[in-house]
Homo-oligomer: A and B are copies of this chain.
Amino acid sequence: MSEPHEPDKSGGLTRRHLLWGGAAAAGVGAAGAAGIASITGAPPAVAPPGTPDAGAIDAAFTPQPAFDDAVPFYGEHQAGIATPAQAHGLFISLDLRPEVDVGALRRLMRVLTDDAARLTAGHPALADSEPELAIIPAQLTVTFGFGSRIVERAGKDMPGWLRPLPAFGIDKLDSAYCGGDLLLQIGANDPLTVAHAARMLLKDARSFTVPRWTQSGFRRAAGAENPATTMRNLFGQFDGSSNPKPGTAEFDQTVWSTDVPAWLLGGTSFVLRRIAMDLDGWDKIDRLGREETIGRTLDTGAPLTGTVETDVPDLEAKDRLGFAVIPAFAHVRRSREGASGTKMYRRGYNYDDAVLSGDPSVSNSGLLFATFQADVDLQFVPVQRALDSLDLVNTWTTPVGSAVFAVPPGCEKGSYIGDTLF
């Protein structure tokens, strides 16, 4: 069993050397090839003099930080929560095999922690079968979450909210997208980086777990727009305008759990709701109707009572006829009145999957509504109840998947995610 490992940076060759020395290695001499060789164990290839100019091509290319940067894995909190959302998000839920006891859980999480630490640094995993796919970190993060069964098997106290959400009237849940014992949230700005990380993690998890579901989503590509821009969903709306900002006291209060069993301090909770969006129905609503449904304008995302996205909606404002500017059924009103001052932190992704056979729609699209919050019962459930009872957006959205996980704290080098539990 491998020990947790910090990728070696002492070899004299930086990751960037490996990366940009790859295909061009022969053109620039042996350094790049030797770099790859240091990963693979293959003998270094030495380029003959006069080999053509692939090196010149690479030298003209400067990688963007969105792809060249690695997000630190170790720390007080797990990465992938306060980390700015990457372009691609993959959520994988695994079920424990029956025989997996606390000792096996410890071994599993040591292995997965080691994999995540290496891969997020842009290094191959141990015994990585495709090391060349590992060398662009693209701000990769891997975030682990535990379902109630893991806490049971560890024999530790359960946070009260670690259970399926209460049933809502709008739900049409498909068990194929619900629940699970172990969550892997994999995010990166490059889809190949995501695919490779998922593959390595799933291989190392397979003797302990079986896949329950995977859900893949996207935002704008890294570099396509200002990273400060709020994401848009497939209805064209800004999605998450009122999110607390990572690095602020509001974010910390919103996200990090305090009133929880000791093993979860420094952690948080994660809710993933798969929300199917009826794009065909939404198409029948005109622009004004859409804006009143949400309570925000579509172009700037400003509340109907404001001028910029960051303006706080004025729920008291009336128009000349005395009607509320933000209607009673508007999403921003329902979510705010339900919240009673509490928030959740939204870190969701769009999905646009292949049309299901026999579905008369031409789209199979929606939102992976992913949230982190200190307490599911105090922050997520009240808002969802308010939206459930009277939110016009419900007309075109249907929750079809639902899962809740406890997200343990981060760990230091030498330890592993879950060390406080097992």
Q: Which residues of A (204-230) have their CB < 8 Å from a CB of B?
A: 205-206, 211, 213-216, 218-230
In this complex, the member of A58, A223, A302, A309 whose beta carbon has the largest number of chain B beta carbons within 10 angstroms is: A223
Pair A26/B354 contact, Cβ less than 8 Å: no
Given A236-B133, A283-B203: A300 touches B25 (CB 8 Å cut-off): yes
A340 within 8 A of B: no
**Cβ 8 A contact of A232, one of B36, B191, B192, B219:** B192
A224 in contact with B350 (CB, 8 Å): no
Docked CA distance A45–B306 (Å): 10
The reply to whether the CB of A81 lies closer than 8 angstroms to some CB of chain B is: no
Tell whether A355 is near chain B: CB-to-CB under 8 Å.
yes
Known: A129-B282, A362-B202. A226 touches B26 (CB 8 A): no
**Contact A138–B221 (Cβ < 8 Å):** yes
Roughly how many angstroms separate A218 CA and B188 CA in the complex, as a whole number?
13
Q: Which of B26, B193, B229, B302 contacts A26 (CB 8 A)?
A: B302
Nearest Cβ in chain B — how far from A39, in angstroms?
8
Evaluate whether A191 and B87 lie within 8 angstroms (CB atoms) in the complex, with A22-B299, A64-B64, A223-B64 already known.
yes
From the candidates B27, B54, B61, B216, name the one contacting A354 in the complex (CB within 8 A): B216
Contact A350–B57 (Cβ < 8 Å): no
Smallest CB separation, A246 vs chain B (Å): 15
A54 to B230, CA, bound (A): 12
Q: Determine which residue in A24, A282, A307 has the highest number of CB atoms from chain B within 10 A of its CB, and name it.
A: A307
Q: Which residues of B contact A297 (CB under 8 A)?
A: 42, 45
Interface residues of A in 1-51 (CB under 8 A from B): 19-20, 22-27, 33, 36-37, 40-42, 45, 47-48, 51
Residues of B within 8 A of A198 (CB): 352
Which chain B residues lie closer than 8 Å to A238 at the CB level?
23
Q: In the complex, A133 Cα to B42 Cα: how many Å?
A: 47
Whether, in the assembled complex, A195 has its beta carbon less than 8 Å from a beta carbon of chain B, the answer is: yes
* Alpha-carbon distance between A341 and B33 when the two chains are bound, in angstroms: 31
A58 vs B227: C-alpha distance when bound (angstroms): 9
Cβ 8 A contact of A350, one of B52, B195, B227: B195
Asked if A234 CB lies within 8 Å of chain B CBs, one says yes
Residues of B within 8 A of A191 (CB): 87-88, 218-221, 350, 352
A354-B218 in contact (CB<8A): no
> Is A307 a contact partner of B363 (Cβ separation < 8 A)?
no
Contact with B along A47-79 (1 / 0, CB 8 A): 110011010011011011011000000000000
- The answer to whether A357 and B226 touch across the interface, beta carbons within 8 angstroms, is no
Q: Is the CB of B224 within 8 A of A67?
A: yes
- Does residue A125 face the partner (Cβ distance < 8 Å to B)? no
CB-CB < 8 A to A64: which residues of B?
64, 223-224
* A365 interfacial contact with B, CB 8 Å: yes
What are 21 pairs between A and B in contact, CB < 8 Å?
A26-B300, A36-B299, A40-B298, A41-B287, A45-B299, A52-B310, A57-B228, A61-B225, A63-B223, A64-B64, A64-B224, A67-B223, A87-B191, A129-B282, A130-B234, A132-B236, A189-B221, A191-B352, A199-B363, A214-B355, A215-B354
- Since A26-B307, A196-B234 are in contact, a sample of 11 more A-B pairs with Cβ atoms closer than 8 Å, ordered by chain A residue number, is A20-B226, A36-B300, A52-B308, A61-B228, A67-B221, A67-B224, A129-B282, A130-B236, A192-B219, A215-B354, A222-B223
